[in-house]
Amino acid sequence: MAETLTINPGDVKLLREKTNAGMMDCKRALEEAKGNPEEAEKILRKKLNLSASKKASREAKEGVIASYIHLGGKVGVLVEINCETDFVARNENFREFVKDITLHIAAANPQFLSREEVPASVIEQEREIAAAQVKDKPAAVVDKIVQGKLEKVYNTLCLLEQPFIKDTNRTIRDIVADKIGELGENIIIKRFVRFGLGES
């Protein structure tokens, strides 16, 4: 119990940003590593690899294309989510997960699937804005602050990095990893589109 109390919340947050693991998973990893952030990161990466990454290389060509229309027809979402077998694609648990993802996209309005899809021009623009906001601070501090602000941009724009609307302590990436563990198959959110009435 004493070890739990010594865990620094800042370390938990930093570990979560580095690994995209859930808050509680990060806290447990830090406890297991006796508060050492580097060791905790190794522990987490091993666990994440065991649960999800092992299955990530497997082909996922089955799945569903799902739609969601928000009440009143003001917002619409189309999403393709793949799994490995038709059996899982028809599974109620998988279908519920797909529904949650469409609801999340409608509510959170992500612009990209992952950070790899964000154009360099967008990142450069955000970097310039962030740097201008802290230009009076020492150079060593500016880089750290700018990087932190860029992480927030990814968390806002990228579906996989957004906090899940039903559990904001976990990202969509966490939810996908959980579902891979539950269903025993690789699951991939392949693409999505969100329409807002009157938006260009």
Q: What is the CATH number of domain 2-56?
A: 1.10.8.10
Q: Superfamily assignment of 62-114+158-196 in CATH?
A: Elongation factor Ts, dimerisation domain (3.30.479.20)
Chain-wide mean pLDDT for the chain? Answer: 84
User: 3-state class of 62 per DSSP?
Assistant: strand
Domain(s) labelled CATH 1.10.8.10 in the chain stretch across: 2-56
The whole-number pLDDT of residue 55 equals: 58
Cβ neighbors of 44 (< 8 A, separation 6 or more) are: 15, 19, 21, 25, 26, 29
Domain(s) labelled CATH 3.30.479.20 in the chain stretch across: 62-114+158-196
Cβ neighbors of 91 (< 8 A, separation 6 or more) are: 183
How confident is the model over 109-145, as pLDDT tens digits? Answer: 999 999 899 899 888 888 888 888 777 777 777 778 8
Global pTM reads 0.67
How confident is the model over 143-180, as pLDDT tens digits? Answer: 788 788 888 889 999 999 999 999 999 999 999 998 98
